[in-house]
Amino acid sequence: MTEEAPKHSLSRIATRNTCPICTALREYQNVLLKHLQPLDCQHFCNTHAWVVANSSPADSVSVIFLKAILDPSWHPASPVPDECDLCQRMHEEKESRLGEMAKQLSEPKVRSWLHDYGMLCSRHGREVMAKLPESLRGSVQDLILRNREEIVELLEGFLQRVELGSHTGGGILGRAAEFLVAQRGIEI
């Protein structure tokens, strides 16, 4: 990588409607792709081939793809950190951010704010919970339960409006997907 943007702390990017881990990973991936060099991506999975094609400098992508096409031994990587170069980088960043979140959750003010206003997707919520001491896991479980209940309420309201002929959801289906599996484009 030729350059990387400074990382924002999770507490700075935490908002009510998005998982701060997803947001941090999305930001990291955007910077990673913006400055991608051919040697940074020699093995890639299906997801990252498309992400690279859509988001990285065209000259780098051309070299990456040309090398793969001309190499008779090349094959698509599986979407796992030990095969895909970009999955590996994303996994390392995710582990770093999960550790940061676990550390921040030891602060009562952060736990309180996150519990009352924050959001964690179910994937990252479970992963950060595994890094916490038993005494702090309940706060993350409560947060995930609150997030779940809010999204259930929104989805039920959406379905009621559908029955009345209105199909506007205000992004609720995307929010539900993000809660279940993380933000779009974050595959690790």
Write the pLDDT tens digit of every residue in 107-150: 888 888 888 888 888 889 999 999 999 999 998 999 899 989 98
150-168 confidence digits (pLDDT tens) = 889 989 988 988 888 877 7
Please give the single-letter amino acid code of residue 159: L
Two structure tokens written together for 159:
């379905």
CA–CA dist 91, 33 (Å, integer): 15
Residue 112 parent element (H or E): helix 108-117
Residue 3 has pLDDT above 60, yes or no: no
What is the percentage of the chain residues whose pLDDT exceeds 90? 29
pLDDT at 70 over 60: yes
3-state DSSP helix/strand/coil % of the chain, to nearest 5: 65, 0, 35
Q: Is the pLDDT of residue 105 over 60?
A: yes
Residue among 72, 94, 113, 111 nearest 26 (CA) = 94
